[in-house]
Amino acid sequence: MSAHEVAVVIDPARFDAVVFDMDGVVTKTTVAHRGAWKRLFDEYLAEAKGPDEPPFDDRSDYLEYVDGKPRYDGVRSFLASRGIILPEGDPSDAPDQETVCGLGNRKNVHFRAHVRDVGVEPYTTTLEFIASLRAADVRVGLITSSRNASMVLEAAGVQHLFEVIIDGNVAAERGLPGKPDPAVFVEATHALGAEPAAAVVVEDALSGVAAGRAGGFGLVIGVARDDNVDELAAGGADVVVLDLEAVTVG
């Protein structure tokens, strides 16, 4: 049976809460993130290593090193893969500073410009799934490593759908480590009045399904937006779908 033929049913008698990742699950922002990362790293690699250095691959490099991770972790992870170690710097670093934080802030400039100029669309099937959950009194939360969550959710018109939102700013304030550590999912689940064993994680990132598995969640759903069904299954997803239209409540 292929991924799009899998029928997943969320039983409200078993599950009290569902926690969604934002980018690529609720909002169509993955293209903007990929473009921002590629622009950042291609420019930096050319400066640091010269024109013969292979560019950032916006599929394989993106999925392995930056997808789902806090911004500075993504910078650090990808640069290490190319043998580059930079000073950590400070979150207040200017975008032109050659530090982990400076490069992360430069990526954020590119991303915010895209959201401002192009806007953000939600996935219609995700909204339909959330409506079904709310109608069945299953509580709904959202996590994201992004510090731009309020801007993105407002641009997509979906901020009101979530009872609890744990974004990159909240995680930093509370000292919560990023994915693949399950801390943000656990924090959101507890804020919803549920325990991980009675909650569902919905993720499109390898780091996210790994976090769901590590956190002992009752069900981890992987959403394969990148033709990466096998990778998500191997990484920790209990079930993988191509779109949330395959998931119902009942």
Q: Known catalytic residues? A: 21, 23
Whether residues 199 and 137 share a domain: the answer is yes
Question: Does the pLDDT of residue 4 top 80, yes or no?
Answer: no
Quickly state the pLDDT bin for 209 (edges 50, 70, 90).
very high
CATH number for position 109: 1.10.150
Last residue of a domain, one of 93, 118, 143: 118
Whether residues 71 and 144 share a domain: the answer is no
Cα separation, 34 vs 205, whole angstroms? 13
Q: What is the pTM of this model?
A: 0.84
What pLDDT is stored for residue 2 in this prediction?
Answer: 44
What is the total count of domains within the chain? Answer: 2
How confident is the model over 105-125, as pLDDT tens digits? 999 999 999 999 999 999 999
CATH number for position 156: 3.40.50.1000
What pLDDT is stored for residue 7 in this prediction?
Answer: 81
Over pLDDT 70: what percentage of the chain? Answer: 98
Question: Does the pLDDT of residue 5 top 60, yes or no?
Answer: no
Last residue of a domain, one of 118, 151, 180: 118
Whether residues 234 and 192 share a domain: the answer is yes
Quickly state the pLDDT bin for 68 (edges 50, 70, 90).
confident
Quickly state the pLDDT bin for 1 (edges 50, 70, 90).
very low
Whether residues 164 and 215 share a domain: the answer is yes
Whether residues 229 and 147 share a domain: the answer is yes
Q: Token pair of 82, please?
A: 């190319």
Full residue range of the structural domain in which residue 227 is found: 3-29+120-249
What pLDDT is stored for residue 136 in this prediction?
Answer: 98
Whether residues 72 and 107 share a domain: the answer is yes
Question: What are the Cα distances from residue 109, in Å, to 32, 39, 45, 87, 219?
Answer: 11, 11, 18, 20, 36
How confident is the model over 159-171, as pLDDT tens digits? 999 999 999 999 9
Q: How many CB atoms lie within 10 A of CB 109?
A: 13
Q: How many CA atoms are closer than 13 Å to the CA of 143, on its beta-carbon side?
A: 37
Last residue of a domain, one of 69, 98, 118: 118
